[in-house]
Structure 1
Amino acid sequence: MGLSIGKVRVGLLVGAGLLVAIVLGFIGYAHFVAARFVKGLPGRLGIDIKQTTDNFTYSQSLKGKTVFTIHAAKAIQHNDSKVTLRDVGIVLYGREGNRADHIYGDEFEYDQKLGVATASGEVRIDLQAPAAAFHGKPDGGVHETGEAADGKDDKDARVVHVRTRGLVFHQKEGFATTPEQIDFTSGGMTGHALGAQYNSQTGVIVLDSAVHVSGLMKDRSGVLTASHAEMDQKANTAVFTGAKYVSPGQGLEADHAVVHTAKDGTPQAMETQGHVRVTGQDRGAVMSDRMDVVLNAKGKLESSHLYGGVRYADTSDGRDAQGSAADARVGFDGEGRARHVDLTGGVTGEERGSAATRTMSAQHLVLELEPQGTRSVLRDAVATGAAKVREVAQAVGKGSATTDMAGDTLTAHFDAVNGESRISTVHGAGHTALHQVARDGTDEISSGDTLEMLFRPVAAGKSAKAKTGLQTGGAQPVEVQRAVQRGGVKVVRRLPAKAGAAAEVQRAAGDEETYDGDSDRVTLRGRAQVEDPSGAVYAETVTMERVSGDATAEGGVRTTYLQTSTSGAQKNEPTHVLADHASFKHGLGTAYFYGAARPARLWQGGSQVEAPVLEFVQADKRLKAYGEGAGDAAVVHGVLLGSSAKPAGDKTQARGNQVVHVASRELVYSDQLRQVELKGRVRVEDADGVMVSDHATVYLSPSQAPSATNRGSAASNKPPADAFLGGQVERVVATGAVRVEQPGRLAEGQQLVYTAEDKTFLMTGTKAAPPRIVSEGRDNESPGTIVGTSLRFRSGDDSVLISGGDGQGGAQRVKTETRVKK
């Protein structure tokens, strides 16, 4: 809160000490004159006669040393027991003979019956004040060498000049009073008060009103005022009402102030109450209901305690800051510079600037400061009890960006740079949260058990990155170099709603979240998971690029893509992926999944694909599966759903969806084309047989979603029509060294077209290598071979339809070998 009590110093205390010295001097000496001189004068002059003496002089000695000397131009003894001295000069010497005080008066009158001494005219007093009570010692004005701060002799610098009128002393009561104004000067200081009272029995001095002291205090000009003042000699206290001390750029005021001094007049402590206000140069003002101050042996501030609703405000030098707390304690070093500040009870603070507004709140705040020169610089801060720090950064025409940091405890360390504090690290413990709202409306909040942030200066000519966490003023702007949040970390990110759509919500979780400022990356570790409306990623580690939006996942990667039907009427079964690690390219909209000991695997419903590498484009629903450096091996394996249709005339019970296994070196699936393309060492296998080829394209036919009439039947198990890898195998086209193996026969050719609806195969070849079917001998039949231009056959049927021709209108010889029973 920038407390500036140390800069106020002890101006009020020094002023109080000076007033004590002055008033004790002039009223005390008046008491001395009345008791020691005026009381004995009638006896020396003759009490029962009337007598006038001109140029009267009287001296008194003690142990060979002159104690005082009195000189009067005229001394008059009256018949009414009154004695009058005119043009009086009194010199009082110190017991050690090291000082001489002077009292001058136009006329003194003493009433012996009433015991009342009255100065009817002006009284002037020159006091050689004790050095310890003088305003310059111990740290300004007069030095221990006996030389004043301005180079003048110590004796001249320590003389206090007092002027007043109407001084009355009641000997019996030991009471002195004047209703007139008291004026005094000393060195560079002047002062006055209206009306004074002194009780010699109690040692209490009262300045009735209009107390004013001005001039040099502690080598600094200042003004001390009070509406009323009371000083107790015996208790060594001074009480001021409506006290106010003002010096250039600093000050202190209170409704009531009590100053405690040592016997030599040196201030020791002060207690203030009621509308207490402390101001410091370029540091605003602190207000409270009460404030207690303790000084050390040097007269420097040792500690202060403000309580009863502490408030802070600073509008100096373009700043707009304010704060509050129920209680504030400040500790100082031996030179009176603040070292420790302890704020408790609803601590708040706010600072408004042209570029940003910063606020903080906590139940308890402790500040550790490091004295540098004449001021103190903040080095450490600990906020506890629902601690929260907020910054709202403003940019003309760009809106605002907000950053909140919260925790049960927030601890910050600051570096001292050019006399200013610059934040270095922040540590949060217990229910920590980091909440950011970007200028585009993106809202992100992360929470965890602990939070650690490391800051660094922003390079010249460079603006701070978006994820700063906390911006601070001072010598140079800062940005986050590294931030780590641990313990049940949860992240919620809300993207601005687009026209006609709801706001998108992204969620993430993990044991630890790390932000690296150099790479501008966020990494989730330990059971990491990232979710958005399109799906979720689970892994041991997930790293996200903040600028590009790219991400990587490591260790036991599990990904789920939510699929919505084109009609929007229903949600299809999600697509799942398992992999060792993965890479997500935001700009391309493509995800790459990689296997390790096991291949990566993607599946939806009963269909699946596994391979060393899976390349998935979610927007287009396009999948590419292949192996990196796998050579000629068929490393891609898949499962598709075959047709449950029966050939015409087959009256057997309908079967459920058949499973079709595929394998190849590469697989490409296009959801838009509804086809699966297999390349290299292709193998397709179902319950009816196996097909191998160099290349094959599998066409999937849309299936109908379950209806109320077929729900529970075999048809209800069919995947939705527009599901990823959904539908059933409608047709297969294979080329290059095609080979079909079925129970009891083998078909070979260069191209094969399979139609699932009637389970029909159409095998073709070239003129040099026509297709053929070789049947095995069974049931006592001999093997047979059929060769033709095209061969059409069906699963579960031994019949073959043979087509011939040379393509030029001529007949082609067809060779048929039939099976004959033996």
Structure 2
Amino acid sequence: MRLTIERLRTLVLASGVLLIAALVGFLALSKIKNKLNLKEIPHKLGADIQRQANGFVYTQSHGGHTLFKIRASKVVQLKKDGRAQLHDVEIELYGQDGSVVDRIKGGEFDYDQKAGIAAAAGPVEITITRPTEAPAVAPGAKPQLPAKSGPLANAANEVASGQIVVKTSGLTFDQKTGSATTAQRVEFAVVQGQGSSQGATFDSDKGQLVLDRNVELNVHRGRETIVLRAAHGEFERTQLVCNLTAAQASYRNGQAAAGRAQIRFREDGSAERLDADDGFTLTNAAGAKVAAPNGSLDFNEKNQPLQGRLEGGVTMDSVQADRSVRGTAPTALLAFGPDGQLKHARLERGVVLHSEQQGQNEPHVIRDWRSPVADVDFRNGAKGQLLMSSVKGTGGVVITGQSQKQGGAVVPSRMAADEVTGEFGDRQELTRITGVGHAALEQTTATGARQTTSGDRLVAVMASTGKQATGQGDLSQQIQSATIDGNVVLTQQKPGDAGAKLRATAGHALYDGGSEWLHLTQSPRIDDAALQLTADRLDVSQSSGDAFARGNVKATWLDETRRGKTAQGGLAFGGQGPAHVIAAEAQMHRDTGEATFRGGARLWQDANSVAAPVIVLNQSRQTLVARSAAGQPVNLVLLSGSQAGKAKTKGSGPSVVRVRAGDLKYSGAERKALLRAGAVGQVVAETAEATTSSNEVELVLFPPGNHAGPDGASAQVDHLTAIGNVVVTSNGRRGTGERLVYSGDNGQYVLTGTAGAPPRMTDPVRGSVTGEALIFNSRDDSVSIEGQGHKTLTQTVAPK
């Protein structure tokens, strides 16, 4: 588009030079009718002369001014047929200031007095020193010509600076009709170049000049030559209108052509307007073409284009070795700057741009731009090149694309916004895209997940390839960075999983194309199936869907069973309501369903909770892992209670089990928690009646719905098992052993040991007891001793 639009004015200016040159030549012949009536020549020389007159000069004057002067070496009056012959003729036409304006030379003129026709059978040369009639000025005054305005800015000024030389033969002038006609070749030379046509007619009465066929003009513009051709040309002198048929301008970087073109001129000879129909085409050297059924251009006094319009269905085509581009729009409006360079093009009423590319060993890429309106701005580049600066689509823009590697799946992408602006660099590669109003970018990640990012405003900076724009890859693969502001929403869905959709929201987002991470700030939030998460900042991976949360992290797992959904993806930590987590930061792996919380992490569901430096949740496996760090232990709190339906006695109400350990592993499927001493050195478990320390503790919860508290409270602890170096204290008693089992249902503690080290309990009042198993009942403070096949019950009363 750059070269063809830029050179379009050359077509118009070249047409003007050709027409002015031919017009002035035939205008000079029209002066013969008004000032030089050949019928009067014999009368001036002697009406009935039958002799030869050799070497004469005839001058015609009026009001003291010379109008014309005829020089001939010989005049022969042929009485028998009423004809006269002039040999070696030179006619000088003068202006009102007395200076020579035009000269006509011919070897022989033949004048038929009866028919009123003068004909030059041989060559005729016309030298024109001015392109138009001299203005009516005072006698002796010099004509005032318009100032010059550039090499091709004003054709009349350029012609006036030199001479126009017209050569032809077989010229016939009909005095009755005022027409001068030749069927022979007409050649002319002007300051800008040389031209020709085959046959021409000038009607002085109608002021009409007709160039019959094969019109051609070679115009020199610096080192460049522009060739203008037309099948036929007509010029209306009185209306200053030129009509060309099958016009074509060829230049170094392309061609411009029109089936029919009409050019309107001003009085000073400058072009005012060009109207083209029956096909208007602009083509550059690379084969890019812009075409429309109809087109028009308006020009200033310097013959520089001001504005233009293409309509009737504008098409733009560009085909290269591995890339093709086609654009369509019903209408295109063109605007030019003060220097005549194209500055702006506006495509209206439905714009479609389609491109395809597939290089060797490269993916097949298809992209489509659709918008009601598209505005293209241009700027001047190096070496006089006209470059695209930006393109802006309004009224709702949709850019779709797809990329497919050989034998691979089709990878789609889509960008949409109320307004989209693309900016171009020096190599005409896309450097920046801005979408405003309902901006959205859709793409497919490397893992096949479909991802959509939307907001009020989206600005994407494109990666520089260092080459001419190629369009390789889908749109997302070319983005170096992007910012999204206002109502930011990110959604990502795994392939083949219609239910699992990640949704992230924020006030601001920054995308890094190198790492393919999206950074969300200003109240960011993630919803992933049953998970809801907020933080000061969220980082989401485009490729995997993984996320990092930093600062004031808060997460909630909803109870999917209460929402009529399966529990998959939720979290059950002994309760039936939502589970909550707070931490300083969190990391989530979407493929594995694992979330890691660090820095003062705490999780709770109903009355059950766990606090630790690190908590790791796996939604897929329904597991929880907690770890200590820097001397900070894992703290677990679970609800315990008595069997439903029993009378409330001491210990029959719900109580709390508190455990402090080095690490924790919990399985929601098994409803089992395993705590180990780890770096803390021992596991400490506390109930309302006793405190236990050991190497590890195992907690098993009742199945869901069993032994739940009122109104669906947390499920209670079924039993607690402490293993290894067990020490239990309760109400002054102290027991030691290798294994302790606490039953939340009946409130009993069973302490056992090994054959070499049986369990032992020390009572401050009764002393020490031992046996194979020591059973402490928290409801009545009784202790049972089992050993050697019998059981002994010991009642003790511990000091309060």
Shared fold by TM > 0.5? yes
- CA deviations on 1:212-256 (whole Å, 9 max, x unpaired) are 114344354454344443323344332223433334542222233
Q: How does 1:149-228 map to 2 (within 5 A)?
A: 158-170=164-176, 175-178=178-181, 180-186=183-189, 189-200=194-205, 202-207=206-211, 209-218=212-221, 220-228=224-232
Q: Could you tell me which amino acid in structure 2 is paired with residue 668 of structure 1? A: L
Match of 2:783 in 1: 800
For the residue of structure 2 that corresponds to 1:25, the secondary structure is helix
Rounded Cα–Cα distance in structure 2 between residues aligned with 1:272 and 1:817: 117
The corresponding residue for 2:68 is 67
The 3 A distance-change label for structure 1 pair 138 and 518 is same
Distance 1:628 1:718, change over 3 A: same
Aligned to 2:291: 287
Deviation at 1:405, TM superposition (A): 2.6
- Equivalent in the alignment of 1:250: 254
Inter-CA distance 580–370: structure 2 relative to 1 (3 Å threshold): farther
Opposite residue 795 of structure 1, the aligned amino acid is S
Distance in 2, matches of 1:276 and 1:92, equals 43
Corresponding residue for residue 452 of structure 2: 445
Cα distance 1:287–1:317, how it changes in 2: closer, same or farther (>3 A)?
same
Question: Compared with structure 1, are the counterparts of its residues 422 and 15 closer, same or farther at alpha carbon in structure 2 (3 Å cutoff)?
Answer: same
Structure 2 length as normaliser, TM-score? 0.80
Give the AA of the match of 2:506.
G
Counterpart of 1:762? Answer: 750
Amino acid at match of 1:749: T
SS at match of 1:432: strand
Task: Confirm whether residue 788 of structure 1 aligns to residue 797 of structure 2.
Answer: no
1:675 corresponding residue in structure 2:
672
Aligned to 1:380: 390
Aligned 1:540-579 pairs, distance under 5 A:
540-546=536-542, 550-561=546-557, 570-571=566-567, 574-575=571-572, 576-579=579-582
Report the Cα offset of residue 641 of structure 1.
4.3
Which residue identity lines up with residue 449 of structure 1 in the other structure?
A: D
CA pair 317-292 structure 1, distance change in 2 beyond 3 A: farther
Q: Give 2:370's match in structure 1, choosing from 358, 361, 380.
A: 361
720, 723, 732: which one pairs with 2:721?
A: 732
Letter of the aligned partner of 1:5 in structure 2? Answer: I
- Secondary structure (helix, strand or coil) at the match of 2:242 reads strand
Structure 2: how far apart are the matches of 1:394 and 1:132?
A: 65
Q: Which runs of at least 4 in structure 1 moved beyond 6 Å after TM superposition?
A: 141-144, 463-467, 562-565, 650-657, 713-716, 766-769, 814-820
State whether residues 323 and 350 of structure 1, in contact with CA within 8 Å, keep that contact through their aligned partners in structure 2.
yes
Secondary structure of 2:32's counterpart equals helix
Report what 1:628 is aligned to. 629
Does the 8 Å CA contact 1:626/1:667 hold for their aligned counterparts? Answer: yes
Verify: 1:457 aligned to 2:459, yes or no: no
Find the aligned partners of 1:784 and 1:143 in 2 and give their Cα distance. Answer: 127
Number of equivalences = 749
Whole-angstrom distance in 2 between the partners of 1:491 and 1:2: 39
Q: Which amino acid aligns with 1:286?
A: V
1:262, distance to aligned residue in structure 2 (A): 4.6
Give, in angstroms, the shift of residue 704 of structure 1: 6.1
Shift of residue 600, structure 1, vs aligned partner: 1.5
Amino acid at match of 2:700: L
Match of 1:101 among 103, 113, 118: 103
Q: Is the contact made by 1:325 and 1:348 (CA closer than 8 Å) also made in structure 2?
A: yes
Aligned counterpart, 1:483: 482
- Aligned-partner Cα distance in 1 for 2:228–2:2: 24
Q: What corresponds to 2:703 in structure 1?
A: 703
Asked if residue 602 in structure 1 is aligned to residue 599 in structure 2, the reply is no
Alpha carbons 1:700, 1:729 under 8 Å: kept: yes
Contact 2:213 2:233 in 1 (8 A): no
2: CA distance between counterparts of 1:730 and 1:639?
11
CA distance in 1, matches of 2:565, 2:315: 61
1:535 lines up with 2:531 in the alignment: yes
Tell me if the contact between 1:399 and 1:439 (Cα under 8 Å) persists in the aligned partners. no
Contact 1:760/1:793 (8 A) holds in 2? yes
Where 2:308 maps in the other structure, the secondary structure is strand
Deviations 1:736-795 (CA, angstroms, capped at 9, x unpaired) = 4522436xx7452234222345543223468789522538xxxxxxx5445122422323
State the AA in 1 paired with 2:77.
I
2:740 counterpart SS class: strand
Q: Distance between the aligned counterparts of 2:476 and 2:309, measured in 1?
A: 34
Tell me if the contact between 1:13 and 1:259 (Cα under 8 Å) persists in the aligned partners.
Answer: no
Q: Is the 8 A contact 1:120 1:165 kept in 2?
A: yes
Secondary structure in structure 2 of the residue aligned to 1:84: strand
Is the alpha carbon distance of 1:768 and 1:270 closer, same or farther for their aligned partners in structure 2, counting shifts above 3 Å?
A: closer
Compared CA separation, residues 316 and 98, structure 1 to 2 (3 A): farther
Counterpart of 1:428?
A: 435
Counterpart code for 2:749: F
2:761 to 772, 775, 780: 772
Q: The residue matched to 1:421 in structure 2 has which SS?
A: coil
Stretch moving more, 445-454 or 263-272: 263-272
Tell me, in whole angstroms, the C-alpha distance in 2 between the residues paired with 1:182 and 1:210.
10
Structure 2 match to 1:749: 736
Matched residue type, 1:340 = H
State whether residues 488 and 511 of structure 1, in contact with CA within 8 Å, keep that contact through their aligned partners in structure 2: yes
8 Å Cα contact 2:512/2:518 also seen in 1: yes
Q: 1:350 aligns with which of 345, 354, 358?
A: 354
Distance 1:254 1:457, change over 3 A: closer
Q: Deviations over 1:485-539 (max 9, x none)?
A: 1111112223222xxx657433222222211245442112233222334634333
Q: CA deviation at 1:365?
A: 1.3
Is the counterpart of residue 514 in structure 1 residue 510 in structure 2?
A: yes
- Counterparts in 2 of 1:160 and 1:439: CA distance versus 1, 3 Å: farther
Equivalent residue of 2:703, what SS?
coil
1:770 and 1:26 mapped to 2: Cα distance?
134
CA distance in 2, matches of 1:618, 1:7: 67
* Residue aligning to 2:142: none
Residue identity in the other structure for 2:602 = A
Distance change in 2, residues 1:716/1:138 (3 Å): closer
Alpha-carbon distance between aligned partners in 2 of 1:570 and 1:277, rounded to the nearest angstrom: 65
Kindly report the root-mean-square deviation, in angstroms, between the aligned alpha carbons of the 2 structures: 4.4
Question: What amino acid does structure 2 have at the position aligned with 1:108?
Answer: D
SS in 2 for 1:277: strand
TM-fit CA distance, 1:659: 4.2
The CA deviation at 1:553 is 1.0
Distance 1:816 1:489, change over 3 A: closer
How far residue 593 of structure 1 moved from its aligned partner, in angstroms, is 1.7
Assess if the C-alpha contact under 8 Å between 1:661 and 1:685 holds in 2: yes
In 1, Cα distance between the equivalents of 2:337 and 2:153?
Answer: 23
Q: Is the 8 A contact 2:2 2:385 kept in 1?
A: no
- The 1:675/1:495 distance shift into structure 2, 3 A limit, reads closer
Counterparts in 2 of 1:262 and 1:252: CA distance versus 1, 3 Å: same
2:139 equivalent in structure 1: none
Question: What's the TM-score, normalizing by structure 1?
Answer: 0.78
Work out whether residues 734 and 761 of structure 2, in 8 Å CA contact, stay in contact via their aligned partners in 1.
yes
Q: What corresponds to 2:282 in structure 1? A: 278
> In the alignment, what sits opposite 1:126?
126
Q: Structure 2: where are the runs of 5+ without partners?
A: 134-147, 360-364, 573-578
Aligned counterparts of 1:714 and 1:110: Cα–Cα separation in 2 = 132
Q: Matched residues in 2 for 1:247 and 1:370: separation?
A: 19
